[in-house]
């Protein structure tokens, strides 16, 4: 049965992911550039793969929350951040993706695919936990959904850029610290620790907005500028 919660959750997860995918990649493919930096088919394949991975991550983390208590929540969110970042690194650091510029764009697609389903499932289950969700709850959880899309897109892209540059540790560390910071700042919200929950949401929002802004205005353009020195030709 399709209800308001499922519609809001779908829009919160998939709409920002598709919009960000388009606006982040559009300047690096035809007709903006004569020679695209990536194959559109591979980008959408990685986005679809990310959709599957997003559900796997959500299922695992849901199980983890069920078997743990509030006293272990800090440890839990730290482990989740390490697990997510490590999974992305394992996928993107395969030999076929190393030192190839299109890996950065595949990483963005992978991260936004993960974000789409992970956000959908997170928002939907959160709304189900509210007895009678109204406009406030729909808007609040949709904003949190946007946070998650920005977070997953940026952190996966940073890991991918590290693989392209052959500097995995600094870029993986940046992605991991961003994920850890976001997770820790959101603890007051999910534990209903007022008034820290509102401060946590504001700070977490600043973290993810800055992270994605840095990706599209600095990290990605500089990578493309340096591409000829850094990478092998993209796979056909």
* Percent of all residues in the chain with a pLDDT value above 90, rounded to a whole number: 69
Residue 233, domain member (yes or no): no
Residue 55, domain member (yes or no): yes
**Residue linked to tokens 């793969």:** 49
Say which residue, 171 or 67, is predicted with more confidence. Answer: 171
Residue 165, domain member (yes or no): yes
Residue 231, domain member (yes or no): no
**Helix then strand then coil, % of the chain, to nearest 5:** 80, 0, 15
Q: Kindly indicate the confidence band of residue 132, based on its pLDDT and cuts at 50, 70 and 90.
A: confident
Asked if 163 contacts 227 with a C-beta cutoff of 8 angstroms, the reply is no
| pLDDT tens profile 12-53 | 999 999 999 999 999 999 888 888 999 999 999 999 999 999
Residue 234, domain member (yes or no): no
Q: Which domain holds residue 210?
A: 4-223
Contacts of 14 (CB under 8 A, 6+ apart): 116, 120
Q: Average pLDDT, stretch 168-185?
A: 95
Residue 8, domain member (yes or no): yes
Cβ neighbourhood burial of 83 (10 Å; 0-12, 13-18, 19+): middle
Task: Answer whether residue 1 shows pLDDT above 80.
Answer: no
Residue 42, domain member (yes or no): yes
- SS3 sequence of 112-153: HHHHHHHHHHHHHHHHHCCCCCCHHHHHHHHHHHHHHHHHHH
DSSP letter at 233 equals: P
Q: Kindly indicate the confidence band of residue 233, based on its pLDDT and cuts at 50, 70 and 90.
A: very low
What is the SS3 assignment for 100? strand
Residue 229, domain member (yes or no): no
Mean pLDDT of the residues in the chain: 90
Q: Poorest-confidence range of 175-184, 197-206, 212-221?
A: 197-206
pTM across the whole model: 0.92
Total domains in the chain come to: 1
What is the SS3 assignment for 129? coil
pLDDT of residue 69: 65
């Amino acid at each position: 049965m399709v209800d308001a919660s499922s519609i809001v959750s779908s829009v919160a997860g998939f709409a920002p992911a598709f919009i960000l995918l388009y606006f982040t990649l559009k300047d690096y493919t035809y007709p903006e550039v004569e020679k695209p930096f990536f194959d559109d088919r591979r980008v959408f394949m990685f986005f679809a793969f990310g959709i599957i991975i997003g559900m796997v991550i959500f299922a695992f983390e849901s199980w983890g929350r069920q078997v743990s208590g509030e006293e272990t929540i800090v440890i839990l969110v730290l482990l989740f951040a390490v697990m997510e970042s490590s999974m992305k690194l394992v996928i993107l650091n395969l030999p076929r993706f190393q030192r190839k510029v299109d890996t950065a764009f595949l990483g963005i697609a992978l991260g936004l695919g993960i974000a789409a389903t992970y956000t959908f499932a997170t928002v939907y289950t959160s709304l189900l936990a509210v007895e009678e969700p109204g406009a406030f709850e729909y808007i609040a959880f949709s904003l949190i959904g946007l946070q998650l899309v920005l977070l997953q897109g940026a952190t996966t892209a940073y890991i991918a850029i590290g693989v392209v540059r052959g500097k995995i540790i600094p870029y993986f560390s940046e992605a991991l610290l961003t994920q850890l910071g976001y997770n820790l700042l959101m603890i007051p919200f999910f534990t209903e620790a007022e008034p820290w929950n509102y401060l946590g949401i504001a700070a977490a929002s600043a973290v993810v907005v800055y992270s994605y802004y840095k990706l599209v205005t600095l990290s990605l353009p500089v990578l493309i500028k340096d591409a000829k020195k850094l990478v092998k030709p993209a796979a056909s």
